[in-house]
Amino acid sequence: ARESFVRKPGETLRIWAHRGASSAVPENTAASDEVARRAGAEWIENDVQPSKDGVPVILHDTTVDRTTDGSGAVRNLTAAQLAGLDAGSWFAPAFVGQRIPTLASQLEGLKTRGGNLLLEVKGSHTKAQVERIVAEIRAKGMSSRVFVQSFEPQHLVWMRELAPELPLGLLRSTLDADPVAIAKDLGLSAYNPSETAFRTKPGIVAGLHAAGVAVNVWTVDNATSWKFLEEADVDGIITNRPAELAGWNAAF
């Protein structure tokens, strides 16, 4: 049986560091993963999508414009072209030289330093592209340290088929009428709604927990909301401020 991500009595909220420690360090870079780890986050969220030549790379937007010194759609740029871009200077001069990581390099970093990856299969992937992601996770021997999430149920259907060992989470910006049914159907370990969506029906937690499914809420950066969510019995928080949430947990 897969590990349960449901919070046990006495445990604090699980910290999932959104795009790494992205409030302090440029998102989805090696540096943002390192800082999140040092802050005490066990899990780092990164977004993955394929380059033009099919290499899974770590980037949130569909274009490189916002977070690098280049321009254009990720899918029109080769891995070599992407590797030449600077992914730190847009954030602050101290981060010049940060690169768009490949999935392989990000896995290698986490393997070396410790830490686990919450990997969002971003946008639209083909089954072959999902298969490539699975192959890279397995090649690094990281299957026991990766959790996959997506807004797209089809990605999770393929993941379940191709990599039954990986725990899965469904991202939602509005709640499903019956979250337990969809969780059972997809074989989810977690149901991950936005804070706005979750607040429309916090009572979903009980049914999901009864089915062994964890609830992780995104993207939550303030203590007022952390308290509300803790009291609503959610399991984890996807946050841009992992250091602050670790401090809040410690004081709890």
Which residues have a catalytic role annotated? 18, 60
Is residue 171 involved in binding ligand G3P (CB under 6 A)?
Answer: yes
Is residue 18 involved in binding ligand G3P (CB under 6 A)?
Answer: yes
Is residue 45 involved in binding ligand G3P (CB under 6 A)?
Answer: yes
**Would you state the structure tokens that stand for residue 115, as one six-digit string?**
């830490």
**Range list of β-strands (E), 25-154:** 43-50, 56-58, 116-121, 146-150
Is residue 238 involved in binding ligand G3P (CB under 6 A)?
Answer: yes
CA atoms within 13 A on the CB side of 179: 30
171 binds, among Ca ion, ligand G3P, none (CB under 5 to 8 A by kind): ligand G3P
Interface positions, 203-232, toward ligand G3P (CB under 6 A): 218-219
Which strand (E) or helix (H) includes residue 238?
Answer: strand 236-239
Is residue 120 involved in binding ligand G3P (CB under 6 A)?
Answer: yes
Nearer to ligand G3P, 73 or 94 (CB): 73
Contact 176, 204 (CB under 8 A): no
Please list the helix, strand and coil fractions of the chain in percent, rounded to the nearest 5, in that order: 40, 20, 40
**Would you state the structure tokens that stand for residue 141, as one six-digit string?**
């021997």
What is the number of the residue whose Cβ is closest to ligand G3P?
218
Which residues sit at the interface with ligand G3P, rule CB under 6 A?
18, 45, 47, 60, 120, 171, 218-219, 238
